[in-house]
Structure formats: C-alpha cells, structure tokens
C-alpha cells in the first residue's frame, strides 16, 4: 500500500455560539477526512466569525474512501506546510477544493443520499460559475464527467465529495 499523507481535520469556527466538536464535518469544515486533500491542494472554507479561528489536525498516512471502519492509518505530522489566505472574492456556503486531481465540492449530512445531493449541487453550481452555463447544461455535463465518492461514513455525519477532473470540460 502506498502512503498518501493528508490532514483529516481542517476547519474554521462555526457561526453558531457555544462549544462545538471538531468531529462532524459541516459547512465550516471539521473532520472532513478526504484523502484528496493532500499535497498541492487548496481548501476553500466559508468564514463565519471574525478571525476565522482555523483549526488543523488528525494526520493520516493512508485511508480508503469512506474510512469504513472508523480509522485510517493515523500518523503524527511533524511538519505541515500550509498557507492561509482570506479571499473576499469568493462567496461560499460549503467547503470546496482544488486538488491535483480536480475541483471538489463537498456534501455533509446524516443521510448519505442528502450528502450526495449536496455535493452534486455544489459541483453543478461551480460548473455554472466557471463555465458560464445554465443549470441544465451544468447538470448534463456533470452526469458525464463528475464522480461522486463517499468521503467518510464514521463521524456521525456522512461525507460525499463530487470531483470534476481537470480538463474534463474544455
């Protein structure tokens, strides 16, 4: 098995007051556990509070899609090279990412079907924005070129990510 190191937990503070667990993934990030978010990736998170209060942790050496048994090959990470940038030109309601493999939109819900629908909605909206297409055209293209993958099923809230590979739409 090849190692594919990535950080499982990246997030900012949610808008709702109170103490919040980092375990469930949600609109502000959290324990996303997406193996696609490795070296060379950019994660975009909606910022809801002053200062964002970014958190990071949960190093993984390798993990299969779904993290089906509740654990991956966890590992310490002595050095993580990360750059934080505030982008005022991007308005988000859910995390998105640009990875070496493609563009990613995430969906999180206790119901796997609803998580998949949320991820699909996000990637269709992104295709509409990037390529100046209507919803029907973006959805038709998605059916041909977008892959839906189960990110994780173990943190109470299930995660699905929709991947639009680079170069799939020209």
Considering the domain boundaries, does residue 149 fall inside one?
A: yes
Q: What is the pLDDT of residue 67?
A: 85
Backbone angles phi, psi at 130, to 5 degrees: -70, -40
Considering the domain boundaries, does residue 109 fall inside one?
A: yes
Considering the domain boundaries, does residue 63 fall inside one?
A: yes
Considering the domain boundaries, does residue 21 fall inside one?
A: yes
CA neighbours closer than 13 Å in the CB half-sphere of residue 98 = 7
Tokens (6 digits) for 80: 């993580």
The predicted-structure confidence for 95-116, as pLDDT tens digits, reads as follows 999 999 999 999 999 999 999 9
Considering the domain boundaries, does residue 95 fall inside one?
A: yes
Q: How far apart are the first and last CA of the chain?
A: 34
Confidence of residue 168 (pLDDT cuts 50, 70, 90): very high
The predicted-structure confidence for 36-66, as pLDDT tens digits, reads as follows 999 999 999 999 999 999 999 999 999 998 8
Cβ partners under 8 Å of residue 115, min gap 6 = 107, 108, 109, 157, 158, 159, 160
Count of domains for the chain: 1
CATH at 140: 3.10.28.20
Which structural domain range is residue 98 located in? 6-165
pLDDT over 90 at 72, yes or no: no
Buried b / exposed e along 77-114 (16+ C-beta atoms within 10 A)? eeeeeeeeeeeeeeeeebbbbebebbbbbbbbbeeeee
Q: What is the pLDDT of residue 133?
A: 96
Is 15 in a helix, a strand, or coil?
Answer: coil
Q: What distance separates the 2 farthest-apart alpha carbons in the chain?
A: 46
Considering the domain boundaries, does residue 1 fall inside one?
A: no
d(CA 45, CA 10): 9
Q: Number of H helices and number of E strands within the chain?
A: 2, 9
Considering the domain boundaries, does residue 170 fall inside one?
A: no
Considering the domain boundaries, does residue 136 fall inside one?
A: yes
Tokens (6 digits) for 22: 């980092």
pTM (predicted TM-score): 0.94
């Amino acid at each position: 098995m090849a190692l594919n190191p990535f950080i499982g937990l990246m997030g900012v503070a949610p808008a709702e007051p109170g103490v919040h667990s980092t375990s469930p993934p949600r609109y502000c990030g959290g324990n996303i556990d997406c193996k696609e978010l490795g070296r060379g990736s950019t994660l975009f998170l909606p910022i809801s509070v002053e200062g964002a209060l970014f958190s990071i942790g949960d190093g993984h050496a390798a993990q299969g899609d779904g993290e089906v048994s509740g654990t991956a090959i966890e590992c310490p990470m002595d050095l993580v090279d990360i750059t934080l940038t505030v982008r005022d030109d991007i308005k988000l309601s859910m995390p998105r990412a640009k990875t070496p493999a493609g563009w990613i939109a995430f969906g999180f819900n206790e119901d796997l079907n609803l998580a998949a629908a949320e991820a699909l909605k996000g990637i269709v909206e992104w295709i509409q924005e990037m390529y100046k297409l209507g919803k029907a055209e973006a959805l038709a293209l998605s059916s041909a070129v977008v892959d839906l993958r189960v990110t994780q099923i173990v943190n109470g809230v299930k995660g699905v990510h929709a991947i639009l590979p680079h170069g799939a739409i020209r």
